[in-house]
């Protein structure tokens, strides 16, 4: 299932864009979210399941910012992995 073109987070509509996110040094960024522009960018070079888990990660990043949640990036990444497993194993429409 392809990623949505937009998603609402905390009452704000975020554009979701698939982009080639390899920098000049040849390193790939998996994804990033920009609160000011309400946009989420996901690397298009990844498998679809990796795109979905990265989208989930960026949603959590946006919530962390909007709700002033104090959580370390490594902990947020572990939460993302756990939530992704639950969603893919238990809900129709999620890819794994």
pLDDT of residue 29: 87
pLDDT of residue 95: 62
Domains, the chain, with CATH or none: 6-90 (3.30.2010)
**pLDDT tens, 71-85?**
999 999 999 999 999
**pLDDT tens, 40-52?**
999 999 999 999 9
Q: How many CA atoms lie within 13 A of 16 on its CB side?
A: 19
Identify the residue with better confidence: 69 or 92.
69
pLDDT of residue 64: 96
| pTM (two decimals) | 0.90
- Give the gyration radius of the chain's Cα atoms: 13
């Amino acid at each position: 299932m392809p990623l949505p073109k937009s998603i609402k987070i905390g009452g704000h509509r975020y554009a979701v864009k698939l982009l080639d996110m390899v920098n000049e040094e040849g390193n790939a960024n998996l994804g990033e979210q920009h609160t000011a522009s309400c946009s989420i960018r996901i690397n298009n070079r990844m498998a679809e399941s990796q795109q979905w888990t990265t989208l989930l990660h960026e949603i959590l990043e946006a919530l962390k910012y909007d709700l002033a949640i104090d959580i370390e990036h490594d902990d947020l990444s572990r939460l993302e992995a756990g939530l992704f497993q639950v969603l893919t194993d238990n809900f129709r429409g999620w890819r794994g």
